[in-house]
Amino acid sequence: MRDRTGRGAIPLVHITDLYHPPQDPDDHFDLATIVALEEYDLRAVILDVTRRFLNPSMAASDIRRDPGFTPVAQMSYLLGRSIPVAAGPRDPLTNPRDDVANREVQEQAGVNLLLNILEISASNVVVSVVGSCRILTAAFNRNPGLLRTKVDSILLNAGSSGGTKQEWNVGLDPEAYKGLWRSGLPIRWFPCASERSAFDSESDRSTYWKTTHAALLQKIAPPLQAWFAYALSGSSRADIIRVLTEKPSQSSWDALLLQERNLWSTASLVMGTGRVLARTADGWRFVSNGAPGKEEVWPWRLDPVNATVNEQAEVQWQIAEEKGKALLFGRRGGSGFGAAMAEALNALLGGI
Residue 246 domain-assigned (yes or no): no
Q: Which pLDDT value is given to residue 58?
A: 59
Residue 114 has pLDDT above 70, yes or no: yes
Q: How many Å apart are CA 29 and CA 127, to the nearest integer? A: 17
> pLDDT confidence of 251, banded at 50, 70, 90?
very high
The mean pLDDT of the chain is: 96
CATH number at residue 156: 3.90.245.10
Q: What is the pLDDT of residues 312-327, one digit of tens each?
A: 999 999 999 999 999 9
Q: How many Å apart are CA 280 and CA 224, to the nearest integer? A: 25
The range of the structural domain enclosing residue 74 comes to 10-209+264-272+300-334
Residue 57 has pLDDT above 90, yes or no: no
Cα within 13 Å of Cα(279), Cβ side: 9
Residue 118 domain-assigned (yes or no): yes
Residue 204 domain-assigned (yes or no): yes
| Global pTM value | 0.97
> pLDDT confidence of 299, banded at 50, 70, 90?
very high
Residue 277 domain-assigned (yes or no): no
Residue 287 domain-assigned (yes or no): no
Residue 175 domain-assigned (yes or no): yes
| Nearest alpha carbon to residue 216 among 257, 273, 266 | 257
Q: Which pLDDT value is given to residue 315?
A: 98
Buried b (16+ CB within 10 A) or exposed e, 154-190: bbbbbbbbbeeebbbbbebbbbbbbbbbebebbbbbb
Q: What is the mean pLDDT of residues 266-279?
A: 98
Q: What is the pLDDT of residues 6-39, one digit of tens each?
A: 579 999 999 999 999 999 999 999 999 999 999 9
For residue 21, cis peptide bond before it (omega within 30 degrees of 0): yes
Residue 162 domain-assigned (yes or no): yes
Q: What is the pLDDT of residues 58-100, one digit of tens each?
A: 556 689 999 999 999 999 999 999 999 999 999 999 999 999 9
Q: What is the pLDDT of residues 153-201, one digit of tens each?
A: 999 999 999 999 999 999 999 999 999 999 999 999 999 999 999 999 9
Number of separate domains in the chain? 1
Residue 5 domain-assigned (yes or no): no
Q: Which pLDDT value is given to residue 86?
A: 99
Q: How many Å apart are CA 80 and CA 247, to the nearest integer? A: 20
Q: How many Å apart are CA 21 and CA 306, to the nearest integer? A: 39
Residue 56 has pLDDT above 90, yes or no: no
